[in-house]
């Protein structure tokens, strides 16, 4: 599993680690990679030690965009435990790679992921709920494949340039023309 996020309180790494520790205590063989840097690094390192996760959690620090995408592509699941998000780009990138994602139901995330369709959603700060979702993804390769395919299809359908950019361009150029025409007529008169 991989989490790509700034190491800051709102990204909820400590809760993710609690959930991951539950998963490990249930006997699941899993590893977690954390990509990112930030002010909570020392606390996260301490939590890893306190939860006896040093052998299964790796802190990669801040990586280049290319290296980050390679890490994401090499993973089985992307997880975002944040309790504050907008529309996470890393989530869209993972979906575009056909990677299943587990994320909290915050802000724009449910618009991007329908629970049990393109990924798995959990209630923010409910670490037991997150642990259940992590376990479900770990034990069921068919579920991961199904979610990954649906995620890729959604990104391809909704974020293809023809679907996402062209309508916006058309709208802006139409509005520019509508605004410019009265101004041009006013200058002529």
Single pTM value for the model: 0.83
Please return the burial class of 122, using the count of CB atoms within 10 Å of its CB with bins 0-12, 13-18 and 19+: buried
Please return the burial class of 174, using the count of CB atoms within 10 Å of its CB with bins 0-12, 13-18 and 19+: exposed
- Can you tell me the distance from the alpha carbon of 185 to that of 189, in angstroms, rounded to the nearest whole number? 6
Percent of the chain with pLDDT over 70: 84
| pLDDT greater at residue 102 or residue 163 | 102
For residue range 130-173, list pLDDT tens digits in order. 999 999 999 999 999 999 999 999 999 887 656 555 665 666 66
Q: Residue 174: pLDDT band by 50, 70, 90 thresholds?
A: low
Q: What angle do CA 43, 74, 16 make, to 5 degrees?
A: 30
Domain ranges of the chain: 2-159
- Can you tell me the distance from the alpha carbon of 53 to that of 66, in angstroms, rounded to the nearest whole number? 27
- Can you tell me the distance from the alpha carbon of 86 to that of 108, in angstroms, rounded to the nearest whole number? 6
For residue range 21-66, list pLDDT tens digits in order. 999 999 999 999 999 999 999 999 999 999 999 999 999 999 999 9
Nearest to 129 by CA among 121, 139, 118, 141: 121
- Can you tell me the distance from the alpha carbon of 189 to that of 181, in angstroms, rounded to the nearest whole number? 13
Mean pLDDT of the chain: 89
Q: What is the CATH number of domain 2-159?
A: 3.40.50.2000
Percent of the chain with pLDDT over 90: 77
- The three-state secondary structure class of 59 is strand
């Amino acid at each position: 599993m991989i989490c790509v996020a700034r190491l800051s309180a709102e990204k909820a790494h400590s809760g993710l680690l609690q959930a991951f520790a539950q998963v490990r205590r249930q006997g699941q063989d899993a590893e977690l990679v954390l990509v990112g840097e930030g002010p909570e690094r020392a606390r996260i390192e301490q939590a890893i030690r306190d939860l006896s996760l040093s052998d299964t959690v790796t802190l990669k620090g801040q990586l280049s965009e290319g290296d980050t995408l390679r890490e994401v592509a090499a993973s089985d699941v992307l997880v975002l435990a944040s309790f504050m998000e907008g529309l996470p780009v890393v989530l869209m990138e993972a979906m575009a790679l056909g990677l299943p994602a587990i994320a909290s139901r915050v802000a724009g995330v449910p618009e991007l992921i329908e629970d049990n369709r393109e990924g798995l959603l959990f209630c923010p700060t409910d670490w037991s709920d997150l642990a259940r979702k992590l376990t479900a993804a770990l034990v069921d390769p068919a579920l991961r494949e199904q979610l990954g395919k649906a995620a890729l299809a959604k990104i391809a359908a909704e974020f293809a340039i023809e679907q996402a950019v062209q309508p916006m361009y058309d709208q802006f150029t139409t509005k520019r023309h509508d605004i410019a025409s009265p101004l041009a007529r006013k200058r002529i008169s």
